[in-house]
Structure 1
Amino acid sequence: MGGDSAGLGEGQDGGRKGTGRRTVADEVGMEHLERCAWFLRGTLVRVSVRRYLPWALVASMLAGSLVKELSPLPESYLSNKRNVLNVYFVKMAWAWTFSLLLPFIALTNYHLTGKVGLVLRRLSTLLVGTTIWYICTALFSNIEHYTGSCYQSPALEGIRKEHLNKQQCHREGGFWHGFDISGHSFLLTFCALMIVEEMAVLHEVKMDRNHCLHTTVTTLVVALGFLTFIWVLMFLCTAVYFHDLSQKVFGTLFGLLGWYGTYGFWYLKSFSPGLPPQSFSLNLKQDSYKK
């Protein structure tokens, strides 16, 4: 009996020590997470970022396209369509953006307003974004189909059957060539700008470290920040390595129209999902800007 009791006591003490070590590790990890969130808040949440990021994307798209046409860069890991960022992030860009913005919008908006109805209204921005994504990608696919032909070689020689669609062409070993509007340019532009717009709510969120939502919101801020940097990086890679200039111009233009048509126009109206909650002073500034 004595041996059993000693063993149990040692295990309990060891468990307490282990718990202590985990607590210290958690504190250190949380400190690093908060520093990262502080840096991202100081960059992506600035009004100047929301104002100039669209122009920066357009400028980088044009500059990258000129580099591609006039002085192509040597092949690299990022020029390979099978790179990790492209396969696991860009090809699922809307899914990543949707899945991270959903809890972020819900938690921050409820923390500020405490109104479930308002939170649900704001979450409908994700349904609007999904609709824009679906319509634009379907439109791009149709444009490529109706402007394309099936060729026997990538040199665009020897038309085989012009009535084939892209899938049939590829199955028969052909190469489909049509006006392929850059879906990457569209989606990465739209996703990056939407994230930056939604993160503007952090101007208003003041949350103590002991608050039950602090860790979750901080983690979401870091995740959304890194996601935005990935979208911008891959947008630059698209500009430098892929598509023709006109295809990227149209893709970026659709992304900008999707963003401005919602956050710059429709969401300012009362019959809309609305903008992220803002203070009275910011609302006055916004009203004066609209005038």
Structure 2
Amino acid sequence: MATKRRPLRTSAAGPSSSNMNFRPGGPDVKRAEAKGTRPTAAPTSVREILVMMVMHACKKTIFFDTNLKVALYLGSLFLVSLIGDFIPFPKTYFARSDNLFNVYFVKVGWGWTLMLTVPFLAMTSYTLCCGDMKKMLRHHIPRIVIATFFWLFWTKMFNIIETSYGRCTVKGFGTKSACLKAGHLWNGFDISGHAFILIHSSLVLIEEARPIIKWESIKDYLRNEIHDRSISEHSSTNPLRNLSEEEMRNLQFLYDRLTPIIRTLFIGMATLQLLWDVMLVGTMLYYHHMVEKVISGIIAILTWYFTYRFWYRTTLLPDPAGSGSFFYQRENKDTFVYGRRPTMTTTGPTNVNAGSRANMATGAFGGLAAQPKFMGMPLYTNMRTAATAASGNQTGASNNGVDLNS
């Protein structure tokens, strides 16, 4: 005959605790009283999910492997243009020089690029500098000034080359302006300004959009750091741990206020970059000769490589896009800081803002690489617990999994 099961909590008082077959300390413990816990993120709304889906699609579009994209630019400029020089492609709407996209976008392409890039650069840099306007103006704004200078320099140079090394189709006109005013054509070596501006703008958009990578992680870092400071706990892995209270307040305020605008600008930048690629295909098919387009493409790519891949990765100003008073992109394989010493942060042998591969491997982020992880996230946030777990794993490995004290 079956007997009645005894409750685990026979001595508990009160009507709510009678006949409750669970162990003490479970649901009765409030979250505020629990130790070793962190605040969780707020529930995600349907609108937020839709926005993140759009952002993910835009990131996949604009952050296509840059090295591969550069190779595709050069290869297609050569191959497609070479075929077009010998076999005319069928005429389409994009073959007309007065098509809508050519007149209102390509011919003023750098203006469209600046219209989206400048506010995006200013807002992201101002946020990452924790509201320090001088740092933003000194370390970030010069990048767009340099890009504009190279745009002006090369377009003027292309025009000078065409004017100096050309001739009118009708004799008697020694200058390009006189030839064109008379209604004749000027035959010169016309390096494609369209191909240059489209490739130059696309690469600048890609590089200046990089701060959006892992931008959402700043919210998690803020929440955890505010919680740690409220309970007087010092985190060794949070990149915000070295910020002052004023910088934390500025960062939280700017992040909350500017993130919706930054996301909107990024979606516009991704759309514009896709449009530039489409218009570049039209330029390959219908405009200029192969040599003129290949030379302009090489110049645009060399300009990008010299500035974003060489100059900005040295210790000279300006800093790369995404740098600031803290470093939040340590898991980005194409991050800007590899091999670069920071100029905005304090120097030191274990400066987390340096973001070098050596620091990540040797534990400058608090031994993050040595900690046990689940789904890519560290299991421990307290360094003492992590060190104990790591030493236990090493001991178990050295003993081949056999407990010597048993």
TM over 0.5: yes
Paired with 2:84 and 2:299, the residues of 1 have a C-alpha distance of 22
Could you tell me which of 172, 176, 184 is aligned with 1:161? 172
1:142 counterpart residue number: 160
2:258 counterpart residue number: 213
- SS in structure 2 of the partner of residue 145 of structure 1: helix
TM score, norm. by length of structure 2: 0.58
Give 2:84's aligned amino acid.
K
**Which one has the largest radius of gyration?**
2
Aligned 8 A contact 1:192 1:228 in 2: yes
TM score, norm. by length of structure 1: 0.79
Give 1:55's aligned amino acid.
A
Unaligned runs of 5+ in 2: 1-44, 220-254, 341-355, 358-406
Aligned 8 A contact 1:45 1:203 in 2: no
Paired with 1:72 and 1:251, the residues of 2 have a C-alpha distance of 21
- CA 1:119–1:239 in 2, change beyond 3 Å: closer, same or farther? same
Paired with 2:321 and 2:214, the residues of 1 have a C-alpha distance of 10
Deviation (angstroms), 1:250: 1.1
Aligned 8 A contact 1:181 1:251 in 2: yes
Aligned 8 A contact 2:320 2:336 in 1: no
1:9 counterpart residue number: none
Paired with 1:239 and 1:140, the residues of 2 have a C-alpha distance of 18
Paired with 2:156 and 2:263, the residues of 1 have a C-alpha distance of 36
1:125 counterpart residue number: 143
Paired with 1:228 and 1:284, the residues of 2 have a C-alpha distance of 24
Paired with 1:261 and 1:284, the residues of 2 have a C-alpha distance of 16
Answer 1 or 2: which has greater helix percent. Answer: 1
Deviation (angstroms), 1:195: 0.7
Paired with 1:29 and 1:238, the residues of 2 have a C-alpha distance of 39
Paired with 1:230 and 1:140, the residues of 2 have a C-alpha distance of 24
Within 5 Å, give how 1:60-75 maps onto structure 2: 60-75=76-91
Within 5 Å, give how 1:1-291 maps onto structure 2: 34-45=52-63, 49-114=65-130, 115-120=132-137, 121-151=139-169, 159-164=170-175, 166-206=176-216, 211-278=256-323, 279=327, 281=330, 282=335, 285-286=338-339
Paired with 2:47 and 2:215, the residues of 1 have a C-alpha distance of 22
Paired with 2:87 and 2:336, the residues of 1 have a C-alpha distance of 47
Paired with 1:95 and 1:284, the residues of 2 have a C-alpha distance of 29
Moved more, 37-46 or 88-97: 37-46
Aligned 8 A contact 2:105 2:112 in 1: yes
1:5 counterpart residue number: none
Alpha carbon RMSD of aligned pairs, Å? 2.3
Aligned residues: 252
Unaligned runs of 5+ in 1: 1-26, 152-158
* Larger RCO, structures 1/2 (Cα 8 Å, 6+ apart): 1
- CA 1:284–1:146 in 2, change beyond 3 Å: closer, same or farther? closer
Paired with 1:284 and 1:98, the residues of 2 have a C-alpha distance of 25
